[in-house]
Amino acid sequence: MKEEQDREQQVAFALRQGKSETPRFEIVRRMQIGEATFCRRKQKFDGLGPR
């Protein structure tokens, strides 16, 4: 359960960074994920969360 919560927080952090001026390659490098993974998570989770 803790690992899942940590991953959700990482996804949320990455998406917030993606909405800012941070370049995508920098986010991918920091999160140590592939660019395809970032794009897939963005597509899946971008509309979720508080507005």
Model pLDDT for residues 21-50, shown as the tens digit of each residue? 888 888 888 888 888 988 888 888 776 655
Give the pLDDT band of residue 14 (cuts 50, 70, 90): confident
Task: Say if pTM beats, i.e. exceeds, 0.75.
Answer: no
Where are the alpha helices (H) located in 1-51, listed in sequence order?
Answer: 2-19, 24-31, 35-45
CA distances from 30 to 24, 34, 42, 50 (A): 10, 11, 16, 24
Could you tell me the residue ranges of all domains in the chain? 2-45
Cβ–Cβ contacts within 10 Å for residue 11, how many? 20
